[in-house]
């Protein structure tokens, strides 16, 4: 058996195309969606991610405000910058690119963003609302994964979903969204014993650990849906996921590639959240 490919790039393109008329309607009504992106320091990978986000905004008519701050920026300066953006009614979404330099307390900074502008879904209020099953903004990567499952018509309800990884950005919210969709969810992580015994039970396996080739063919149930969230670099500098794609694709029923899988969907869901934020503002102002 060869797995069918979940084409995140195509799904992202279709989803973004669907946003264009919404952005146009908002803009015509004087509510052009605006996303502010803050990059602190000069991490080259973060710079690439941020550039991609800014370009994705511009491609569909969302206004983007990019701020680059030096690595030595103080907490007070960064908090003051976020506070200005919170007060700016032309800004609907605020994203602070992570990781931050070590002297800055990322969680404290994230909590300073107004929760109704937290289009990244990382504010404690948004994490809590997702936990309650009443999300305001879903964390972008897990949200994108749910859309990928939806796109293949996968019946998530009642399935056993195994999430590898327990980060606040991906693993935990992923588990909550799958649970809200009535999956039976197991979260596995670096301290989990006999990982393969657990992953082999998965009807849906989401790998979000950050370790290349962690998921091998013997760890996958035949026919399972395998979604690879990993973004690792090969020694040659190429992007690679957490899943041994070539081997696993002969066991799985569906598989998402890296690149071209989850990555484009993460940025797309950031755009979706930003457009939703602007639509809420427009409604509130009406
Ligand atoms: N760094 C890597 N991915 C992300 C993301 O989705 N949001 C933020 N804020 N930082 C990131």
Q: Is residue 221 included in any domain, yes or no?
A: yes
Q: Which residues span the domain enclosing 94?
A: 30-114
* Interval 65-84: pLDDT, tens: 999 999 999 999 999 999 99
Query: Does residue 146 register a pLDDT over 90?
Result: yes
Binning pLDDT at 50, 70 and 90, where does residue 127 land? very high
What is the distance between the alpha carbons of residues 260 and 132, in angstroms, rounded to a whole number? 31
Nearest to 49 by CA among 115, 108, 120: 120
Query: Does residue 21 register a pLDDT over 90?
Result: yes
Q: Is 118 in the pocket of ligand 1 (CB under 6 A)?
A: no
Q: Whose C-alpha lies nearest to ligand 1, atom 1? A: 98
Atom of ligand 1 nearest to the CA of 141: 6
Query: Does residue 62 register a pLDDT over 90?
Result: yes
Q: Is residue 131 included in any domain, yes or no?
A: no
Give mean pLDDT, residues 170-175: 98
Q: Is residue 205 included in any domain, yes or no?
A: yes
Contact 75, 108 (CB under 8 A): yes
Q: Whose C-alpha lies nearest to ligand 1, atom 11? A: 98
Q: Is residue 235 included in any domain, yes or no?
A: yes
**CB count in 10 Å sphere of residue 276:** 18
Q: Is 228 in the pocket of ligand 1 (CB under 6 A)?
A: no
Could you tell me if 154 and 226 lie in one domain?
yes
Could you tell me if 248 and 148 lie in one domain?
yes
Cα of 250 from ligand 1 centre, angstroms:
32
Contact 200, 221 (CB under 8 A): yes
Q: What is the CATH number of the domain that holds 164?
A: 3.40.50.720
Binning pLDDT at 50, 70 and 90, where does residue 1 land? confident
Is 97 considered catalytic here? yes
Catalytic residue selected from 7, 53, 221, 228: 53
Could you tell me if 90 and 155 lie in one domain?
no
Is 88 considered catalytic here? no
Could you tell me if 145 and 259 lie in one domain?
yes
Q: What is the CATH number of the domain that holds 106?
A: 3.40.50.10860
Q: Name the one residue in this structure whose structure tokens are 């669907």.
A: 18
Atom of ligand 1 nearest to the CA of 98: 10
Could you tell me if 42 and 76 lie in one domain?
yes
Q: Is 120 in the pocket of ligand 1 (CB under 6 A)?
A: yes
Q: Is residue 282 included in any domain, yes or no?
A: no
Atom of ligand 1 nearest to the CA of 99: 1
Is 105 considered catalytic here? no
Could you tell me if 157 and 100 lie in one domain?
no
The whole model's pTM is what?
Answer: 0.97
Could you tell me if 103 and 218 lie in one domain?
no
Catalytic residue selected from 116, 118, 120, 228: 120
Query: Does residue 109 register a pLDDT over 90?
Result: yes
* Interval 211-242: pLDDT, tens: 999 999 999 999 999 999 999 999 999 999 99
Cα of 54 from ligand 1 centre, angstroms:
13
Give mean pLDDT, residues 158-177: 98
pLDDT of residue 286: 87
Q: How many domains does the chain have?
A: 2
């Amino acid at each position: 058996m060869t797995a069918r490919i979940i084409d995140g790039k195509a799904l992202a393109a279709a989803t973004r195309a669907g946003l264009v008329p919404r952005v146009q309607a908002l803009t015509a009504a004087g509510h052009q969606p605006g996303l502010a992106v803050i990059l602190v320091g000069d991490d080259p990978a973060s710079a690439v991610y941020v550039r991609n986000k800014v370009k994705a905004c511009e491609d569909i008519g969302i206004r983007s405000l990019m701020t680059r701050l030096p690595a030595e920026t103080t907490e007070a300066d960064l908090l003051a910058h976020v506070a200005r953006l919170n007060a700016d009614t032309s800004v609907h979404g605020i994203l602070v690119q992570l990781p931050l330099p070590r002297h800055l307390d990322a969680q404290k900074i994230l909590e300073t963003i107004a929760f109704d502008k937290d289009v990244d879904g990382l504010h404690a209020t948004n994490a809590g609302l997702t936990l309650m099953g009443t999300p305001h903004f879903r964390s972008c990567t897990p949200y994108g994964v749910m859309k990928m499952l939806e796109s293949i018509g996968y019946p998530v309800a009642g399935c056993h979903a195994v999430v590898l990884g327990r980060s606040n950005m991906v693993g935990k919210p992923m588990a909550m969204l799958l649970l809200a969709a009535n999956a039976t969810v197991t979260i596995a992580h670096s301290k989990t014993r006999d990982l393969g015994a657990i992953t082999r039970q998965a009807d849906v396996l989401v790998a979000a650990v950050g370790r290349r080739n962690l998921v091998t063919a013997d760890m996958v149930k035949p026919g399972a849906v395998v979604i690879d969230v990993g973004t690792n670099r090969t020694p040659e500098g190429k992007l690679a996921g957490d899943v041994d794609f070539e081997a696993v694709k002969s066991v799985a029923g569906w598989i998402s590639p890296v690149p071209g899988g989850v990555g484009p969907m993460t940025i797309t869901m950031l755009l979706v959240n930003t457009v939703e934020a602007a639509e809420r503002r427009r409604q509130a102002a009406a």
